[in-house]
Structure 1
Amino acid sequence: MDAHMPRYSDERKAAVLNKLLPPHNRTVVSVSAEEGISDVTLYSWLKQCRQQGMPVPGNRNNGDEWSPEAKLAAVIETAPMSEAELGAYCREKGLYPEQIQRWKAGCLQGAGMQVESDKTAHKQQREARKTIKKLQAEVRRKDRVLAETTSLLVLSKKLEALYGETPDNEDN
């Protein structure tokens, strides 16, 4: 550690990094001027964050490490923007316009898949209802057959009791 470099408290460092990292993603130059901390120090702090795997603006490889919620928010925020506004937004966030386009395409693809998924679920529900109706009709039919068979059996028992013989033994 350089002896000339001032030591900042963890709280101050965290507060300053908060301005530099998502969702604020302010530029090193603006935060350096505002906080009176050298840009070299700020870049060093950002490098440490990057090494810890945090998504750091300006580290172009990390744009796709944004959470799905953050990507959707970026797509929504940039939707009404002109090309120039989009360019400025991307520079500020450390992104490429192409990344936003990919995320937008992904959102639309996801919405399309949701529609297909809903259609499939609806079709499956219709099929299930048809199957249930068929099975209910089959149960009702079997209940009728069972009731008829039971009636015939009861009648057969009554006749047997009445005549004291089984209908099969009529030729005796």
Structure 2
Amino acid sequence: MNKKKSQKWSAQEKLRVVLEAAALGDEELGAFLRREGVHEPLLELWKQEMVEGLEGASQQKRTAKRQAEQDSHRIRTLERELARKERALTEAAALLLLQKKVRQIWGDEDDAIDPSSEQ
């Protein structure tokens, strides 16, 4: 006999009992439940817990999928923004380089101003 009056049933044991009970007819079920030390209301409770667990798992999968889609969209948006900023930075660097070369060729405008003429 597998009576577990004072012990807790593990999830695996509950699953085993529920699955075995599901395969039995009414007459066999009574004998099986007595042998296992389980009352029928407890068996029904375990069935309900399993159904709720499966429904919860499905909901978690849907939530995780939705979150993954949102994350993917956010990543694409950030990658586009990063590429745009990298192009702007490259352009700014090119303009600074061009400005430096122009100053080298034409001379710095600040050098052309005579400090004595400002007064």
TM-score between the two structures when normalised by the length of structure 1: 0.61
Unaligned runs of 5+ in 2: 114-119
1:83 aligned partner: 26
- Distance across 1 between alignment mates of 2:13 and 2:21: 12
How far off is 1:83 after superposition?
2.0
Question: What is the percent sequence identity of the aligned residues?
Answer: 30
2:45 aligned partner: 102
- Distance across 2 between alignment mates of 1:159 and 1:58: 91
- Distance across 2 between alignment mates of 1:93 and 1:151: 81
- Distance across 2 between alignment mates of 1:126 and 1:78: 41
Contact 1:71–1:103 (8 Å) recurs in 2:
yes
How far off is 1:81 after superposition?
1.6
> What per-residue deviation string (whole Å, max 9, x for no partner) do you get for residues 145-168 of structure 1?
0011011101100100000124xx
How far off is 1:94 after superposition?
1.3
SS at match of 1:81: coil
- Distance across 2 between alignment mates of 1:105 and 1:83: 19
Greater RCO, CA 8 A, separation 6+: 2
Contact 1:86–1:97 (8 Å) recurs in 2:
no
1:28 aligned partner: none
- Distance across 1 between alignment mates of 2:89 and 2:4: 78
1:133 aligned partner: 76
* Paired amino acid for 2:52: Q
- Distance across 2 between alignment mates of 1:147 and 1:95: 74
* Structure 1: 4+ residue segments shifted above 3 A: none
1:159 aligned partner: 102
**Is 1:114 paired with 2:57?**
yes
- For these two proteins, the number of residue pairs brought into alignment is 113
CA RMSD of aligned residues (A): 1.9
Determine which structure has the larger helix proportion and give its number.
Answer: 2
